[in-house]
Structure formats: C-alpha cells, structure tokens
Structure 1
C-alpha cells in the first residue's frame, strides 16, 4: 500500500478538521444556526480553504450527513446479518438510519431536501449512491429470504419491494421531524410496513415469462 505524500496528508487532515467542526456545530446549533465562517473558525482554516472542500453550506451538510448515513448503512448490514427472520433483518438494516435521523431531525430535513432538490455536486452524488446502497442491500436480503423459502424457484425481481421499504423509511424520517408525532409509534408503524412488504414479496407468485406455455 502506497503511503500518501505530505500534500495528500495535509489535505486529509484539513478535510477531517472541517468535517469534525461542521458536524459539531450542526449538532450544537442546528443547520440553520451555523455559518460557513463559524465552521472555518472552528476548523482553524481560512474561508477560502473551506470552500475548496465544500463550496457551499449545503455541501457541508451533505459532507457531514453522508458520513453518518454511510456508518448507519454499515451498522445496519452487520445487524441484519445476525437476524434469521427476513422482516426483522430488513428492519435491522434500516433502523440505524431512522435512529440517526431522529437524533438530528431538523438537520435531516434540510439534508433530505438537498438530496432530492439540491444542486449537483460530488457530495450529492455520494448521497444518491448511499440511497442506492440501502435499496440494493434491502433487495439482497429479500432475494436471500426468497431462496430460503422457495429453494427451487428463481427469485422475482426485488426492486419494487426494496423501493417500497425505502419509501416507508423516507416517510418515517420526515415524520420524525414533526413535534406532534410520537417517535415510538413511527418506529412501530415502520416495522409493520416492512413486515407487510416482506410478506407480500415472499408470497406473490412470480410473473410468467413472456411466451411461456400456461
């Protein structure tokens, strides 16, 4: 493995300081209450240096939250691997992201807006790739569950079911930002929705192939 040179190490160190500073400030004051100058001051870098790593405040939010979403995905994959029941496995996969979103509901709402409607850039591209990562992981769990329950039958395409699970998670995340909605019922509702989707996938007959003899 090649050891990074001094210039690359300096870049990595500045990136880490900026990430840590933005993360702490967003947690302390909320996204709306933080300025890029505050992040630069906390990270001990010039404003111009900050903008080389994240050109805008929304990019700073994407940078911070992407790191947390990536960790939630990794934690969820590990938790899902310890579950034998398919619905519990899928729920274990997505639960860390819901928990992370609850912890900073206001910031998450801004993040969701940037992912869906924000300007194109490397951090938004990364965020969309993380969404794909969750959907792909859900689909993999569904295919694995199908193989267990239908060992002699090819699994149907799990894409629609995986999208449905992630859509339910997305709604739960947005709902968690509403103060009038209790958190535990949201988690219970998500668990019910996941169970319904998984059961539907595992009990829906595969569509007949075109040209197949009835």
Structure 2
C-alpha cells in the first residue's frame, strides 16, 4: 500500500500543477513570445521566486507544459499504432497525434521544438523532452525491425527511425513558417516517411543475408 503523501509534498505538487496550468493557458491565449514569467506567476497565484524553483526560465515553463502534452499524444499514438497493420501505417499512427496536437498553436510548438533541439543541456525539462523523443525513436525502430526480422535488422531500423524523427522535426518547424492545412502536412510527412520506410525494408533483406553465416 503506498504511503500517504505528506502536506509539504502535496503543497509542492499543487504549486507545480498551478504553475503548469497557468503557463499552458497563457501560452495558448497569447503565444509563447508574448508571455512573461511574471504573468505566469500571477495567474498561478505564486510569488516569482516560487515559480523559479519549479522552472528557472520561460523556456523551462514551455518545456514543462509541452512535455506533458507530448506524453499524452504519444499514449494516443501507441494505441492507434496497435490497430494498424503495415509498418508505414504504424509509424504514421505514432506521429499523427503529435502533428495534430502541435498544430493547435504553431508558434508554441516551433518554440518547443527549438528548445528540445538547441536548449541548454542543464535544463531538466529538456532532458525529459529528449527522453520522450528518444523513446519515440526506439518505438519506430521496433516497428521497422519487427517488419524485417533478421540479423542486423535492428541497427538499420534505429538509423531509419532517427531519419524519420529528423523529417518530423523539420516538418513541424516548417509548419510554423508556412502554415499548411493539417491534412496536407500529414500527407507530405507520410510521403517522406514512406521513402525512409521503403528504403529500409528494401535494404533489410540484403543486410540479413550479408550477416547470415555462409
């Protein structure tokens, strides 16, 4: 039976939840660039010094908010992927909720992607974000490796999965600049991911033969 949470821990959890909710609401209402940390503190009803104990910069607030949203998107993507049959359909099922949810506010999503890729290595929320996307790479690699079992398949699948995520990140950043319709963005992304998936599957049998004992 889990131990009851103490009053101090409940207070810390409540403050973090209020800060995260306030930051998310303000980013949605006004966009990341227009929001200040002081406004987040006021909306969350905490002192600025208290806010900085939970997120030391506005970028960390953004990472805090969007890490939670990405995690939720990934849960839905896994459920959808489990119902698909082809490798490409499974991979796109994993990516589609991230794309659709991200289009709710292109500016914020692009800012989040920039922080994930180029943010400070000391930021704990960036480390959490990198862990989420590393997990997604591993899941895409598993889909591809399962579609082409054989010696050496997993190594090639991991490289292909990294390429898929690179294409995904570029598509998200491009959406903030070009604002395409979401179906068009997904269609273009599927075409690019399809090239990677087909390339891996076409090459995998050769890799397996080369790795097999003679």
CA distances 1:86-142 after superposition (whole Å, capped 9, x unpaired): 110110001111112211110112112212221121101111111101101101111
Q: TM-score, normalised by structure 1?
A: 0.91
Specify which structure has the higher proportion of helix.
Answer: 2
Aligned match of 2:183: 184
Number of residue-to-residue matches in the alignment: 207
Q: Give the alignment's TM-score, normalised by structure 2.
A: 0.91
Which runs of no fewer than 5 residues in structure 2 stay unpaired?
A: none
Partner of 1:3: 4
Aligned partner of 1:127 in structure 2 is: 129
- Give the Cα–Cα distance (whole angstroms) in 2 for the partners of residues 53 and 38 of structure 1: 15
Partner Cα separation in structure 2 for residue 54 and residue 86 of structure 1: 39
C-alpha distance in structure 1 between counterparts of 2:102 and 2:94, whole Å: 14
Q: CA RMSD in A?
A: 1.7
Structure 1 segments of 4 or more deviating over 4 A? none
* 1:10-159 matches, cutoff 5 A: 10-119=11-120, 120-147=122-149, 153-154=150-151, 156=153, 157=155, 158-159=157-158
Q: Is the 8 A contact 1:161 1:198 kept in 2?
A: yes
Question: Once the 2 structures are TM-superposed, how far is the Cα of residue 75 of structure 1 from its aligned partner?
Answer: 1.1
Name the SS for the 1:3 alignment partner: coil
Q: Deviations over 1:7-26 (max 9, x none)?
A: 11111111101000000000
Instruction: Classify the secondary structure of the residue corresponding to 1:206.
Output: helix
- Where 1:167 maps in the other structure, the secondary structure is helix
